[in-house]
Amino acid sequence: MNNIGKIALFAGGVLFGSAGFKLLGSRDARKAYSHVTAAALRCKDSVMRGVELVQDNCSDILADAKTINSEREKAAEEKFIENDVTEE
C-alpha cells in the first residue's frame, strides 16, 4: 500500500474516532448509559436477595443437622450406658 493510502486510512480513522467520541458523549447516549446502569443495579439487588435467601436456608439446614447429630450422640451414649449396665 502506498503512502497516500496509509494517510487516507489514518485520516479516516481519526475522523471515525472523533465522530465516535461525539456520539458516546451525547445527551442521548448518557441517558442510555443511565438506564443500563439502573437495570444493572436492579439486577444486582435481585441477585443479592436470592443469595440472602439461600444463605438463610443453609443456616437452617446447618442448625437442623447439628440438632440431629446431637440427638444421635445422646441416643448412642444412652445405649452405651444401658449396655454397660446390663453387662455388670
Residue 36, all three cell numbers: 443500563
Question: What is residue 83's predicted lDDT score, i.e. its pLDDT?
Answer: 67
Predicted TM-score of the model (pTM): 0.51
Residue 38, all three cell numbers: 439502573
CA–CA distance, 39 with 34 (Å, rounded to integer): 9
Mean pLDDT of 32-56: 95
* 8-state DSSP, 2: -
pLDDT in tens, 47-83: 999 999 999 999 999 999 999 999 999 988 888 776 6
pLDDT in tens, 5-17: 888 888 888 777 7
CB 23 within 8 A of CB 29: yes
